[in-house]
Chains A and B, each alone.
Chain A
Amino acid sequence: MSDDARTDGGTTVKNTTALRERYDALKGEESTVAVVSIIGLLAFPWLFIEAPVVSGFLKGYESLASLILIWAIFAIGFDLLLGYTGLLSFGHAAFWGTAAYASANVSAYLTGSPLVMVLLGTVIAVGLAWLLGYLTLRRGGIYFSILTLAFAQMMFYMSSSVLATYPGSKTPLTNGENGFTGVSLDPLLGMFELNREMPSILGEFVGTWHYGFIAVFTFLAIVIAYRILNSPYGLVFKAIRENEQRTEFVGLNVWRYKLMSFIISGTFAGVAGSLFTIHSQYVPLSSLYWTSSGEVVIMTVLGGAGSLFGPIFGAAVYLWVENIVSGMPNIGAFWHLILGLVFVVVIVLVPDGIWGLPDAVRRAWGYISNLGGDR
Chain B
Amino acid sequence: MPLLELDDVVKEFGGLVATDHVSLDVNEGEHLSIIGPNGAGKSTLINLVTRMLDVTDGDIRFKGDSIVALEPHEVVQRGIGKSFQTASIFPELTVEENAEIAALAAEHGEFRFNFLKHLRDYTEVSDLAHRTLDAVGLLEKVDRRAADLPYGDKRRLEISIALASEPDLLLMDEPTAGMSPEETQSTVDLIEELKEELGLTIVLVEHDMEIVFSVSDRIAVLNRGEIIAEGTPDEVQGDPDVQEAYLGGVEL
- Chain A residues engaging chain B, CB cutoff 8 angstroms: 30, 224, 227-228, 230-236, 238-239, 242-243, 245-254, 256-257, 260, 264
Contact = CB atoms under 8 A, between A and B. Distances in A.
A251 B119 contact: no
A230 B116 CA distance: 8
Contacts of A228: 115-116
Contacts of A247: 101
B92 interface: yes
7 contacts: A231-B115, A236-B101, A243-B90, A245-B88, A248-B71, A251-B106, A253-B73
Contact of B119 (A232, A239, A248, A264): A232
Contacts of A252: 73, 101, 104-105, 110-111
A239 B116 contact: no
Interface string B29-69: 00000000000000000000010000000000000000000
Interface string B127-169: 0000000000000000000000000000000000110110000
Given A238-B93, A252-B73, A264-B115, A232 B104 contact: yes
A186 to B, nearest CB: 31
A231 B117 contact: yes
B102 A251 contact: yes
Given A250-B76, A250-B165, A235 B82 contact: no
B123 interface: no
A264 B115 CA distance: 10
Contacts, number: 99
Nearest to A250: B102
Contacts of A243: 88-91
B85 interface: no
A230 B164 contact: no
A235 B92 contact: no
A251 B77 contact: yes
A249 B104 CA distance: 13
Interface string B84-102: 1000111111000100111
A80 to B, nearest CB: 10
Contacts of B88: 243, 245-246, 249
A107 B131 CA distance: 56
A260 B88 CA distance: 24
Which among A30, A228, A246, A256 has the highest number of chain B CB atoms within 10 Å?
A246
B110 A253 contact: yes
Contacts of B115: 228, 231-233, 260, 264
A235 B100 contact: yes
Contacts of A236: 101, 104
Given A235-B104, A250-B165, A252-B111, A230 B118 contact: yes
Nearest to A241: B92
A253 B73 CA distance: 6
Contacts of A234: 119
B233 interface: no
Contact of A232 (B72, B92, B112): B112
The 8 closest A-B pairs by CB, nearest first: A251-B76, A251-B105, A250-B102, A242-B90, A253-B110, A253-B111, A233-B115, A239-B101
A238 B96 CA distance: 13
A234 B118 CA distance: 10
A250 to B, nearest CB: 4
Given A250-B105, A251-B73, A235 B119 contact: yes
B92 A230 contact: no
A297 B222 CA distance: 51
Given A232-B119, A249-B76, 8 more contacts: A230-B120, A236-B104, A238-B93, A239-B90, A246-B89, A249-B88, A251-B106, A252-B111
Contacts of B71: 248, 253
Contact of B73 (A224, A238, A248, A264): A248
A304 to B, nearest CB: 15
A257 B108 contact: no
Contact of A249 (B50, B116, B119): B50
A260 B112 CA distance: 10
B114 interface: yes
A27 B50 CA distance: 42
A250 B161 CA distance: 7
B47 to A, nearest CB: 11
B95 to A, nearest CB: 13
Which among A238, A242, A249, A253 has the highest number of chain B CB atoms within 10 Å?
A249
Contacts of A253: 71, 73, 110-111
Which among B105, B115, B120, B122 has the highest number of chain A CB atoms within 10 Å?
B115
B116 to A, nearest CB: 6
A248 B88 CA distance: 12
B72 to A, nearest CB: 5
Contacts of B165: 250-251
Nearest to B82: A249
A312 B95 CA distance: 30
A351 to B, nearest CB: 13
Contacts of B50: 249
B90 A246 contact: yes
Which among B92, B100, B101, B109 has the highest number of chain A CB atoms within 10 Å?
B101
A238 B89 CA distance: 12
Given A232-B112, A239-B101, A246-B89, A254 B73 contact: yes
Nearest to A247: B101
Which among B73, B106, B165 has the highest number of chain A CB atoms within 10 Å?
B73
A227 B120 CA distance: 11
A310 B122 CA distance: 28
A249 B90 CA distance: 12
A32 to B, nearest CB: 15
